[in-house]
Structure 1
């Protein structure tokens, strides 16, 4: 790890700002109120929990610096109320308020950016057992999942329970009304369209929840001879194309709240209702999540009557783009394969297959939350970087 050295530290703006000149030639500014809020002494900070003890009620937002001393490695601040704080050089450098430093830190915290793809995708593949046993392989798995949106793991058994092992590897799975894990197979009186032999068009799972699961794990236990092929599409890539081709359609889908519903009985009885924009964007206009499942889109549609037809036209355009040859990737899962993918980004579907007297196709599925996956990814990265 690189260590930074302080050349000079001084107080500006009538004691409300500290400026640091670094030996590498860079300069940083730190507001006094932020420094006081982040005092690292044992009265203000609980090191064992890495958490702040100082209350906002006890913080003087107009606090001033009374005295400042420094050496190459740290800064000592005495405040106007005589409280003392000490800040390490590396700690300060990492938290510099310059645009570049903030952007670098955000990249570090949220890890790799997306790599868009279409039909040319080379499906990233790793060995299931390697991922369970080896931290470098597990790091590769989760960082690729974040970057590309899908990873196939091969060499699992053809018995249920494998997705549970991956859940333990990450931390824990995401429980829904369909259970800790669920079986995708043809079922009599199916409570979900996935539990039939019919074609499933492109969808994300579970937009009926206000917080749809971030990651999906699907383990192939049994595969039918004909049909049942999986289809995937990079939703973020399709959104980019839609915005370029038909900005109005993009605007409609990213601003109209659509009702989703799911009613039935499984892990327990349920009556779920939610509202989502099909294309969800952040404050910078970046697409952060797709929420679309045609099967659970409600018959109730809470929009003015004149908005209905334009919405359908926009949605049709979006779905037609997904089905374009250049965007979708088709493959067939074999027994022992586990596909793990980003349910906020990828839309997935499957081709129909023939119904028989026996179960000819059986997948076991589970969900994980992106917060849990990202937590494990950060821990694994630390472990791999430290060579543990």
Structure 2
């Protein structure tokens, strides 16, 4: 198995890793951010960071000590000691009061499922507990802090058990309502005002530049690497700095150029409207990389265009809440049905254009007009769907485009699930315009973002990437 450059570049430093857990707060499909855009310390910090990144300055790195196997990062200031523990009269939950005055409530079943005793959890973090053995009527007989753990004794229909949970685990994974709301602010990306750029040589040789490039992609959704050697294998090599290339029906890599056999509009010189690639897959590719191999001076047009669809979906919700709701409930048909090719394909996937989490936040958007099949829904939904569809399409046309004329050696990397992309039509005039591309899995990318935040950064949370994760 290939070792990817990202992993090879990780230093021996490590950071505390933990997070707030998600809990159902509201089933109402109303965005927390459509109606509440107040400025917080977190959002202010994010703005400062974006300015830093655009200026090309080094990203501040905070060395930390790895504490646990948890999947998400610990936020600064959460290393607090317990002041007191109180078991509720009903014995079904306990309240932990921390020295900084913060109060967490933990239910008996939650504590039992997160017990760190040897029979409940392996040292590698995997749960060994049999789910059916934990009754929802479990009661807490006692809960006391010993050293750095909360020691709990439970009893229920299946007998009693005494176990422990580290206090830093409890603080990091508390499900206090404010903690959950704060997390939403931290993971929400802000739209980019311009396309950030980094140098390929800097990524290879400058400390912190690989991390800065990865952050650009996560936080702004797009980044251009300049001066990438114009070799056929370079797009794959750059991709492997993050993770393995994701093969699709187009192979591991593909060329985008005008060809006599235009089996895809991308292989013509026609303009291509804003869209996402391969949305007819259950899990479309996350990152797309396009390396400009040829773009002759005589070629007219062909500029690349990008638009943050997360931002546009939020605007759509505020302007047309009823139409927004329609696009979250009435499913579109996405398809790729093509038999006249080396690998015949018949892919049909029905799903709504916009998917929400339990808080009503947008966690995924799908938009690919060239690859939409006939609508197949109840007759009562047809007209309202097309009204919502038309209105959203018109709003996208008014969005602030990021436009860029790629030159040989430029390699653009963008989040295919967040950034709609397209291009202007062009005339070759006897020249050539050729891009070489590949895809990466979005979950692998988000994982590597969090790894770098934890091991080389300040432990912040990765921004939402459109992989349908409800966090």
Q: TM-score, normalising length from structure 1?
A: 0.87
Deviations, residues 42-92 of structure 1 (Å, cap 9, x unaligned): 2111112x1100111222332333344324633222334453212222122
Deviations, residues 156-184 of structure 1 (Å, cap 9, x unaligned): 11122222123322222222111111110
Corresponding residue for residue 203 of structure 2? 131
Equivalenced residues, count: 377
Quote the Cα distance in structure 2 between the aligned partners of 1:68 and 1:239. Answer: 46
Q: Which residue, 108, 118, 128 being the options, matches 1:42?
A: 118
Query: How does 1:58-207 map onto structure 2 within 5 Å?
Result: 58-71=133-146, 73-80=148-155, 81=159, 83-104=161-182, 112-117=187-192, 121-131=193-203, 136-207=208-279
Alpha-carbon contact 2:243-2:440 (below 8 Å) kept: no
SS in 1 for 2:141: strand
* Distance change >3 Å, CA 92–CA 134, structure 1 → 2: farther
- Bigger relative contact order, structure 1 or 2 (CA pairs below 8 A, ≥6 apart): 2
Is 1:53 the counterpart of 2:128 in the alignment?
yes
The unaligned stretches of length 5 or more in structure 1 are none
Quote the Cα distance in structure 2 between the aligned partners of 1:331 and 1:364. Answer: 17
* Distance change >3 Å, CA 139–CA 29, structure 1 → 2: same
Alpha-carbon contact 1:213-1:367 (below 8 Å) kept: yes
Corresponding residue for residue 382 of structure 1? 454
The unaligned stretches of length 5 or more in structure 2 are 1-63, 65-76, 460-471
Quote the Cα distance in structure 2 between the aligned partners of 1:132 and 1:291. Answer: 34
Is 1:238 the counterpart of 2:312 in the alignment?
yes
Quote the Cα distance in structure 2 between the aligned partners of 1:60 and 1:314. Answer: 46
Quote the Cα distance in structure 1 between the aligned partners of 2:346 and 2:405. Answer: 34
CA RMSD, aligned part only? Answer: 2.7
Q: How far is the alpha carbon of 1:40 from its aligned partner?
A: 0.7
Quote the Cα distance in structure 1 between the aligned partners of 2:347 and 2:179. Answer: 43
SS in 2 for 1:19: strand
Q: TM-score, normalising length from structure 2?
A: 0.73
Alpha-carbon contact 2:114-2:165 (below 8 Å) kept: no
Q: How far is the alpha carbon of 1:378 from its aligned partner?
A: 0.7
SS in 1 for 2:83: strand
Corresponding residue for residue 13 of structure 1? 89
Quote the Cα distance in structure 1 between the aligned partners of 2:355 and 2:103. Answer: 38
User: Could you say which structure has the larger radius of gyration?
Assistant: 1
Q: Using the TM superposition, name which of 75-84 and 363-372 deviates more.
A: 75-84
